[in-house]
Amino acid sequence: MARDRSGNGAPPESVISIIGPGMKVVGDCETDGTIRIEGRVEGSVRAGKAVVIGKDGLVIGDIATQDAVISGTVNGTLVAESRLELQATCRIEGDIRARRMQLEEGAILNGTVHMGDPAGRRGEPAPEASGT
């Protein structure tokens, strides 16, 4: 598993890791900051701050992050704890969980979408079973 451990003194959440065009990563990618994918990743992607996938970027695996902006292709489950933006050039094959989502015209999404609180709660008490 690739893990971001930059020694430049910057806070980990401010670091941007880049998978460049033509680059292929086989395995899981994890960072406390942001990861930008312009190449291909075959494995899960976890970022503490954000995941940005360029229009030629491809992820075959699951993605988990706070915020995501997707212009390329994702084959897998995508979880954005805060905000998800699906741009017109994106193609998603898999399930999505996001608190908020922006979907541009032209984006392709094949899968289920679950929105709101990622835990499935919105601050309302759970319904009680009636014993009558």
Each domain of the chain, given as residue ranges in start order, spans 12-115
Planar angle of CA 75, 102, 16, nearest 5 degrees: 65
The distance of Cα 54 from the centroid of its chain, to the nearest Å, equals 13
Q: Is the CA virtual torsion 6, 10, 13, 16 positive or negative?
A: negative
Lowest-confidence pick of 16-25, 75-84, 85-94, 113-122:
113-122
**Cα–Cα distance measured from residue 113 to residue 19, given in angstroms and rounded to the nearest whole number:** 27
pLDDT tens-digit readout, 26-71: 999 999 999 999 999 999 999 999 999 999 999 999 999 999 999 9
Q: How confident is the model at residue 116 (pLDDT cuts 50, 70, 90)?
A: confident
Helix (H) or strand (E) holding 47: strand 45-47
